[in-house]
Structure 1
Amino acid sequence: MIEPSYYLSNTVKSIKPSGIRKFFDLAASMEGVISLGVGEPDFVTSWSVREACILSLEQGFTSYTANAGLLELRNEISYYLRKITKTHYDANEEILVTVGASQAIDLALRAIVNTGDEVIVIDPSFVSYAPLVELAGGTPVLISTRGEEEFKLQPEALEEAITEHTKAIILCSPNNPTGTVLEKKELEKIAEIIEKHDLLVISDEIYAELTYDEEYASFVSIAGMRERTILVSGFSKGFAMTGWRLGYVAARKEFSQAMLKIHQYAMMCAPTMAQYAAIEALKNGLEDVDHMRKSYRQRRNLFVGSLNEIGLTCHVPGGAFYAFPSIKSTSLSSEQFAERLLLEEKVAVVPGSVFGESGEGYIRCSYASSLEQLQEALKRIDRFVKKL
């Protein structure tokens, strides 16, 4: 008999499973649960987008595409990015179509990180950032943020975290899990430090379409940042295409072509049918995106206002579809609160602690659910807090 653990990578053994999945799997095994846990739109992908996929199948477009993706799709991405970021990317050499934005982040890190390099991660952050840095051979350096400051990265904290080994920083605005949006003037202060220390930026802009109160500001639109930024985005959130697994990278060719080399060996290309669907989404799906954005904004206002009335203090998130209320007043840990809320009131949320130490004392609630479900969930949460 062999001992499997002997053969496993030490890095893989040291990485914890996703805390989000733990609660999602538990909720899925129970009846009558209202899930505010998984970050997924409750809208179905637009009909014209689904129809474009079906048509591609009927026409027999079932072969591999170019490794970088269909040129028509890359052209549409280039045109779209020029509209929303005011920045041009060459479709032939600077855009790569990936299997979701998650693969794009993985490729970016593997393309730039050497053993011993440090990559700054904002805490709390999306659960995959730090593990992907480790899998690439780097060291994640976490910068804590505070609820009192709406979990915004403070320039002085960034300056303090940089060492001679720092190579890059991962930014996400609008943010998962906090919904925080960094305004242009805040990005400019961060950019000054990035340039001063000659760092790279992986800018995860997957929630770019879901910005509610301020005009969306992409990091690549800040003076001097295009050349040192790897922009990551995709179709999952804003276009309600999570299951299609389609993302993209836009970066100067030295970075995008390095990522393409890894992509060629690891993945070959993104799914062909999904790429044809994405072309239609960019050409004719933006009205539906606008409709979804307005609906999420309405839900946000209801949900966050009600959480504050219940006594769970919550800043107004400027984007994405997450509320990140404090549960410190209950004297329970994030995990205790989430477990008891699920078992006693059948509402699934995610403990803030799974997103990093700065998330302890908070929970993440997705308001990408119907108004009826959100109202019922709020009743149950109110009842639970009053029992406490």
Structure 2
Amino acid sequence: MAKDNKGKDQAALQALSPFELKDELIKAAGGGAVERPANASMLNAGRGNPNFLATIPRHGFWQLGLFAMRESERSFAYMPEGVGGFPKREGLTERFELFLRENKGVPGIAFLAGAVSYVRDQLGLSGTDFLYEMCEGILASNYPVPDRMLKLSEVIVGQYLRREMIGKYPFVGEFDIFAVEGGTAAMTYIFNTMKQNHLIKAGDTIALGRPIFTPYIEIPTLNDYELNVVNLDADVENNWQYSKAELDKLRDPKVKAFFLVNPSNPPSVKISDESLEYIADIVKERPDLILLTDDVYGTFADDFVSLFALAPKNTILVYSYSKYFGATGWRLGTIATHKDNILDKLIAELPKDVKKILHHRYESITTEPDKLKFIDRLVADSRTVALNHTAGLSTPQQVQMVLFSLFSLMDTPDAYKDALKRLIRSRKRALYEEIGIAFDEKDANQVDYYSIIDMEYFGERAYGREFVDWLLKHTEASELLFRLASDARVVLLPGMGFGTKHPSGRVSLANLNESDYRKIGRAIRKLTDEYVERYNKETGKNIQRKEVK
């Protein structure tokens, strides 16, 4: 970086999203423009894509595909040109049982046998109907019908969401699900449909729970929406929980909606039970408040309960299968809303002239456009309304989503979940040991998918406030990240890009091996020691490191 352009370049870098700055850091670390460089010595802990995945439901997917192909080839068998047909319901279950016996011991077969049994015996659904939906779905031989989500698939995914997002919390009523192309598609659809249906409009105020996934910060200010934003800041000194003073900002009637990620990204801490109850109490006072909670990391937490469980009628739940099952490439996500929700009520209460516009918008897809539910408006808007008949997540994606869900539902001792939690927490322990930070395992709200290395918070505790003030005066946060990248070939994302108060680096604990996190920890420790040495030389002092807890 040229010295005379340093200020300009730093300003330009500060304006970049963390996910765009990542590319610059990769270049500084000796990597190429691609995300997965051939340079094996570079340690990219900047992205949350896990290096683990669920194998059993994937084996089940491929074996199911083979069975579905056999079913397809039963039709048009007289044609040698490779033409198949749709599966036949009659005798489907018997043929499937024969397939299982013929392939006994093959990976995925026992899982499929258990899945059909679970669907039939525990969920009370027709085994034949389930098999037919899965076979037709995996063959992708028909449009998604219903377009919002395949019928039995919605029931099974709903059971999974109940287990993982609601747990033992009392929940009254039912909810609808829209299967979408991952959590990012869910965000896009929700923002758009809220705008199209006048639930938010330019100049309105929403609240963001920060730190938060960067696109949530960036989307509201785009010229598509032009929203005012009130920030609710969780603080590292409060174990990344929201204070009551911050949550009380939701009492302002100007705040139309509250968007949050729980557990948080990047601190990776779930909202405490006390804070969830506090938000639910605010909703009782403000029954028009819309809540949007992105709970993708909830499955890594201990005894997770979503805000959707406490305030279901006000909450839009977004969940993605990407991280827990190692399935970012599958693009599997869900949007869930309670069947009796505030969104539909707010739309019904819109002024007549606005309802007339919306009536015209949706009249081509239903004879009763005024009664169209918010979640079905999401489906229509996802295909610009006119293409509603071709809406819906691809059916093979829905099949894999169902198999992931059944894998979790059938894992009653949570063996897979416990294995992943052990894996990422051992990585955090390794990282912290090398940095020299005590590893706290007592906080039940810690999830540890990511970790924030907060320069100001940890620096003050290790070396004192005077050193931190000197460091902030003489360096930029991005400079420290670029030093890590260029000197140690370690890539972290800037925490401030996610809305943290202090300069920091986000470490993903999901995408590298334990030995790599030890190397990252040593690199951070070495860089810190260099700045301490420089501080001592320039100030004539001799500060020593203290234990950091």
Bin of the TM-score, shorter chain as denominator length: 0.7 to 0.9
Aligned to 1:196: 285
The structure 1 residue matched to 2:506, chosen from 354, 364, 368, is 364
User: Aligned partners of 2:395 and 2:142: how far apart in 1?
Assistant: 7
Aligned to 1:385: 528
Indicate if the aligned counterparts of 1:317 and 1:323 stay in contact, CA closer than 8 A: no
Provide Cα deviations, 1:351-373, integer angstroms capped at 9, x if missing partner.
112112x3432111111121121
The structure 2 residue matched to 1:33, chosen from 42, 49, 54, is 42
1:49 maps onto 2:58 in alignment: yes
Indicate if the aligned counterparts of 2:241 and 2:272 stay in contact, CA closer than 8 A: no
Aligned to 1:76: 156
Aligned to 1:292: 420
Give the drift of 1:258.
2.8
Give the drift of 1:161.
5.9
Give the drift of 1:25.
5.6
Aligned to 2:299: 209
Aligned to 1:106: 188
**Which structure has more RCO (C-alpha within 8 Å, separation ≥ 6)?**
1
Indicate if the aligned counterparts of 2:160 and 2:406 stay in contact, CA closer than 8 A: no
1:354 maps onto 2:497 in alignment: yes
Indicate if the aligned counterparts of 2:206 and 2:229 stay in contact, CA closer than 8 A: yes
Q: Structure 2: where are the runs of 5+ without partners?
A: 1-14, 70-138, 195-199, 345-373, 460-467, 532-549
Provide Cα deviations, 1:115-168, integer angstroms capped at 9, x if missing partner.
222110122211011223334523332223322112222221232365433111
Indicate if the aligned counterparts of 1:24 and 1:37 stay in contact, CA closer than 8 A: no
Aligned to 1:258: 377
| 1:295–1:103 distance in 2 versus 1, CA, 3 Å | same
User: Aligned partners of 1:52 and 1:25: how far apart in 2?
Assistant: 38
Q: CA RMSD in A?
A: 2.7
| 1:381–1:62 distance in 2 versus 1, CA, 3 Å | farther
* Equivalent position SS for 2:484: helix
User: Aligned partners of 2:189 and 2:436: how far apart in 1?
Assistant: 40
| 1:89–1:379 distance in 2 versus 1, CA, 3 Å | farther
Give the drift of 1:65.
1.5
Aligned to 2:140: 61
1:175 maps onto 2:317 in alignment: no
Q: Specify the code of the residue in structure 2 equivalent to 1:110.
A: N
Aligned to 2:20: 21
TM-score by length of 1: 0.84
User: Aligned partners of 2:454 and 2:218: how far apart in 1?
Assistant: 26
Aligned to 2:406: 283
The structure 2 residue matched to 1:119, chosen from 186, 191, 206, is 206
User: Aligned partners of 2:249 and 2:436: how far apart in 1?
Assistant: 34
Give the drift of 1:184.
1.5
* Equivalent position SS for 2:483: helix
Indicate if the aligned counterparts of 1:334 and 1:360 stay in contact, CA closer than 8 A: no
Q: Which deviates more, 116-125 or 56-65?
A: 56-65
**How many residues in Structure 1 have an aligned counterpart in Structure 2?**
363
Give the drift of 1:55.
4.2
1:301-320 alignment runs, 5 A limit:
301-309=429-437, 318-320=446-448
| 1:296–1:382 distance in 2 versus 1, CA, 3 Å | same
Indicate if the aligned counterparts of 1:72 and 1:279 stay in contact, CA closer than 8 A: no
Q: Which deviates more, 331-340 or 82-91?
A: 82-91
| 1:303–1:88 distance in 2 versus 1, CA, 3 Å | farther
Indicate if the aligned counterparts of 1:351 and 1:360 stay in contact, CA closer than 8 A: no
Provide Cα deviations, 1:200-259, integer angstroms capped at 9, x if missing partner.
110111111111xx421211222xx11101111010111111111110011124432232
| 1:171–1:308 distance in 2 versus 1, CA, 3 Å | farther
* Equivalent position SS for 1:140: strand
Aligned to 2:463: none
User: Aligned partners of 1:343 and 1:336: how far apart in 2?
Assistant: 10
User: Aligned partners of 1:288 and 1:139: how far apart in 2?
Assistant: 42
| 1:161–1:193 distance in 2 versus 1, CA, 3 Å | closer
| 1:360–1:50 distance in 2 versus 1, CA, 3 Å | farther
Indicate if the aligned counterparts of 1:175 and 1:320 stay in contact, CA closer than 8 A: no
**% of aligned pairs identical?**
20
| 1:73–1:158 distance in 2 versus 1, CA, 3 Å | same
* Equivalent position SS for 1:79: helix
Aligned to 2:7: none
| 1:117–1:53 distance in 2 versus 1, CA, 3 Å | farther
Indicate if the aligned counterparts of 2:428 and 2:448 stay in contact, CA closer than 8 A: no
Indicate if the aligned counterparts of 1:24 and 1:348 stay in contact, CA closer than 8 A: no
| 1:24–1:273 distance in 2 versus 1, CA, 3 Å | farther
Q: Specify the code of the residue in structure 1 equivalent to 2:482.
A: E
1:149 maps onto 2:292 in alignment: no
Give the drift of 1:317.
6.8
Q: Specify the code of the residue in structure 1 equivalent to 2:324.
A: G
